[in-house]
Amino acid sequence: MGKGMKSSRVLELLLVSSLCMICSGFIPCTNAYSEDPNDDDINYTESWRLNSSSSPPPYQSSPPCFPGMFIFGDSLADAGNSLSIFPEKFARRQEEMDFNQTDSASFARRFDDGILFGDYLAWAMGLSPVEISPYLQGVGSVFAQGANFAAGGSTVQQHLGASEVLDRHAVFPNLPFTLQQQLEWYRHFKHGAAQASPNINHTATVRAVLPPSDFNSSLHVVFAGYTDYVAPLLSGTPKQEVSSSVTDVVTGISDFVEVRDWTGARSVRFSLTLLSVHGVANILLVNIPPLGCTPGILTLFPGTEDDYDVYGCLTPFNAIARRHNDQLFRLVIELQVKYPLATLSYGDYYQVAHNVLRRPALHGFEVSCPHDLLTACCGAGGAYNFDLKVTCGVPGSANGTLYDGNSCSNSVDHLFWDGFHPSSGVSRYAARSFMEGTEIYPPKSLVQNGCLPDYSQFY
């Protein structure tokens, strides 16, 4: 390492001098982050504070960026599908618990503090999350602007579905969902919408459905792959073996986007056939957050001092996420070249999380100590407020201490809500970054049809 690089490393370490990483854990911080006013990050805090007490900037009405949105993925995007179909596997959670500190029950039954990335993105594009109901929800569903097919526990790799290690007492329940199954749901939903549209009863339980003519021009969001890495790690699979599965995971996502014909023959493949049968598809592929920064991984897999980066994250686990993200980005580039009439976008959620770690206050996260960002809002004590035996919503005992299962009061100031799921504060920042074009490729690819980003509903 050259002298200049060593000096740079020293300066980085000084930024977090209050974060003392030693083998036994962290010691409390005594000073806050110092922000560089000349930093090249966009300072969103000058115009819009990321907390519920602030007022959003004025919004000028415009048409929505897309007529609707369809969402696929795992628990990072699940708005209630898993709990709706397998409520008994969620006995550890209060079914209607609303952690998000809003007054709306519409944002309960999620794996975070309520409002997901997909909700914020819908708002920003001029859509309404309550009209993009979970496909499996049933009573009260509204599909006027699309549907959410994401399901907690879903994997890209078929053989990981319904893993025996994921039982009801684990962070990820034992569920039989896969990304390809969600594609079958989508196909069935589209067929049903085409049949129901002429005779739709707007007073019925399912009050409205997006017109079939708008399906192909709607945005299709794929936020998948996270469970394919977390689940094996929790089951004891060596991280080297988990890392070697990256190509299989990204290939699975490729097969989802560049779908085989519906009979399953590998010799015939139609790009975007199921997501855009009659027109150009709009697809957003979102990468995965930094695994090595999650309270769960940090707690369960402590490393040596050299395993941690300047922010306190475990670099060997972040390397798995970066490998996945690099291959996913190359996939987007390859598909865009191969199918120039399609609009494919790459959303960099990993970089969003890194930006928060690098300059928390600049992006609306109020912390006095950088380590606070890495602790779970809802957990059970310890250095990272995480224990597998205590999850949100249900009291439990860990290390001889009884915890009530309640959350902190400032979830938006944490990088992660629980051991593995990003907080709504990070999701909110991600949605805004993507709309502004700062952490998405191609830039401004979500701003279509003359729309103006709408942040008026951001809590």
pLDDT tens readout for residues 294-315 = 999 999 999 999 999 999 999 9
Q: Which of 333, 312, 329 is nearest to 321 (CA)?
A: 329
Q: What is the pLDDT of residues 207-232, one digit of tens each?
A: 589 998 898 889 999 999 999 999 89
pLDDT of 54 reads 40
- The closest of 317, 299, 327 to 387, measured between CA atoms, is 299
CATH number of the 61-292+312-366+424-441 domain: 3.40.50.1110
Residue 395: the pLDDT is: 66
Q: Which two tokens stand for residue 225?
A: 């792959």
Query: For position 274, what pLDDT does the model report?
Result: 43
Which region holds residue 74: left if phi is over 0, alpha if psi is between -120 and 50, else beta? beta
Instruction: Tokens for 387, please give them.
Output: 């224990």
Are 270 and 261 in contact by the 8 Å Cβ rule? The answer is yes
Q: What is the mean pLDDT of residues 266-287?
A: 57
Arithmetic mean of pLDDT, 56-76 = 81
Whole-number mean pLDDT of the chain?
A: 76
- Give the closest residue to 209 by CA, choosing from 217, 200, 219: 200
Under the banding of pLDDT at 50, 70 and 90, the label for residue 50 is very low
Domain residue extents for the chain: 61-292+312-366+424-441
**CA dihedral sign of residues 56, 57, 60, 63:** negative
% of the chain at pLDDT higher than 70: 66
Determine if the pTM surpasses 0.75. Answer: yes
